[in-house]
Structure 1
Amino acid sequence: MSNILTRAATVASAALLATTGTLVGAVQASALPMTPTCHVADLDLAVGDADGAAGSLYYPILFTNTTSHTCALRGYPGVSVVDARHRQIGTSAIRTGEAVETVSVVPSETVTAVLRTNSPGVASCRPTSAYVKVYPPNSFQAEEIPYHLRVCGAFEISPVQASE
């Protein structure tokens, strides 16, 4: 009986393939290859100039693709501030809750995530950092960027976005 069922299934699959070009249960491969994730080694990381508004300071975290191929970033970077001895000062930046998108980064292109803190005098401040430590999205490897940043009150990070 099982031979009859197997043979019937084979005949039905062949007929379906002949008429539609699709085989039931077959996995179709994507026509486009997957873009690899950007890793620390693929990127030049930097902190851009602060921009202030309404008691807040906004610092762009810049991710520049230094490779000869396109790579992708999706989500939030991990960000913290550390002292000269490489010890973390306070808690890491919290996520803003904004929706995330996959951002393709072509060679030499820069994309950003925005770090927000309050202006001094608006809220209590942590000691000034010696470095900003950044983990690209979906990475377990970080880079410490030499930068003197004073976190006051809020400490938030946005997801990576294409630069405008």
Structure 2
Amino acid sequence: MFSLTSKTLRRGRRVAAGSLIAVTALTLTAGVAQAQTSTKTASDRCTADNLSVRLGRTDIGAGNIRIPLVFTNKGKKTCSLRGFPGVSLTLKEGTPVGKPATRSGSVGSAVRLKPGQSAHAVLHTVNDGVSDTPCWSKAQLVRVYAPGSKEAMTAGTDGLRVCGGRFDVTTLKPGAAD
């Protein structure tokens, strides 16, 4: 039969206390590292003030329509973008056309843009007649929110029309893709 002595109990408490201190220290260190990464990422995030946005050349094929949405760093410092832009269509006076684009694919990696460099996401819809779902009215503007931004930017369209109820956007990738 095993009996616990006060010496055994004290040793067990010291080991448990040491383990708790080690776990706490590791947790705090990881939290500080994560906070530093988040602060750096947030501080070098591209904003509407240092970006321009435009639509690239439309690619039509196999019943699909794909249009690059190109972001260019017009600032004087390198900045980062990561994730999906928010995209909706409007008429010139701002009346919404249809619903905002849904996200397609995974988030992807951060894209670092030096001044003058570009990144792109791809807008996707289908050709008229591919589906029984009717097309939306033609849009005159694309309202865009860069990932992490609450400030909208706009780009003109050549009468972009969403058909088949399908309007989605990919995550950002390096380059202009057009």
Band of TM-score, shorter chain: 0.7 to 0.9
User: For the residues of structure 1 that align with 2:40 and 2:174, how far apart are their CA atoms?
Assistant: 19
User: For the residues of structure 1 that align with 2:152 and 2:90, how far apart are their CA atoms?
Assistant: 12
Counterpart for residue 57 of structure 2: 49
What SS does structure 2 have at the residue aligned with 1:137? Answer: coil
- TM-score with structure 2 setting the length: 0.72
User: For the residues of structure 1 that align with 2:161 and 2:139, how far apart are their CA atoms?
Assistant: 6
- TM-score with structure 1 setting the length: 0.78
What SS does structure 2 have at the residue aligned with 1:64? Answer: strand
Q: Of 99, 110, 113, which aligns to 1:91?
A: 99
Counterpart for residue 7 of structure 1: none
Counterpart for residue 17 of structure 1: none
Counterpart for residue 150 of structure 1: 161
What SS does structure 2 have at the residue aligned with 1:143? Answer: strand
User: For the residues of structure 2 that align with 1:71 and 1:84, how far apart are their CA atoms?
Assistant: 30
Which amino acid letter does the alignment assign opposite residue 131 of structure 1?
L
What SS does structure 2 have at the residue aligned with 1:130? Answer: strand
| 1:104 and 2:115 correspond | no
User: For the residues of structure 2 that align with 1:62 and 1:127, how far apart are their CA atoms?
Assistant: 23
TM superposition shift of 1:75: 0.5
Counterpart for residue 34 of structure 1: 40
Which amino acid letter does the alignment assign opposite residue 155 of structure 1?
F
User: For the residues of structure 2 that align with 1:63 and 1:144, how far apart are their CA atoms?
Assistant: 11
User: For the residues of structure 1 that align with 2:95 and 2:153, how far apart are their CA atoms?
Assistant: 14
Q: Which protein is bigger by CA-based radius of gyration?
A: 2
Displacement over 3 Å in runs of 4+: 23-30
Which amino acid letter does the alignment assign opposite residue 156 of structure 1?
D
User: For the residues of structure 1 that align with 2:75 and 2:98, how far apart are their CA atoms?
Assistant: 34
TM superposition shift of 1:87: 1.1
Deviation track 1:37-82 (CA, whole Å, cap 9, x = no partner) reads: 0001111100111001211000000000001110000110000110
Greater Cα shift, 136-145 or 117-126: 117-126
Which amino acid letter does the alignment assign opposite residue 152 of structure 1?
C
- Number of residue equivalences: 141
What percentage of aligned pairs have identical amino acids? 34
Which runs of no fewer than 5 residues in structure 2 stay unpaired?
1-24
Counterpart for residue 6 of structure 1: none
User: For the residues of structure 1 that align with 2:114 and 2:122, how far apart are their CA atoms?
Assistant: 20
| 1:117 and 2:125 correspond | yes
Counterpart for residue 149 of structure 2: 139
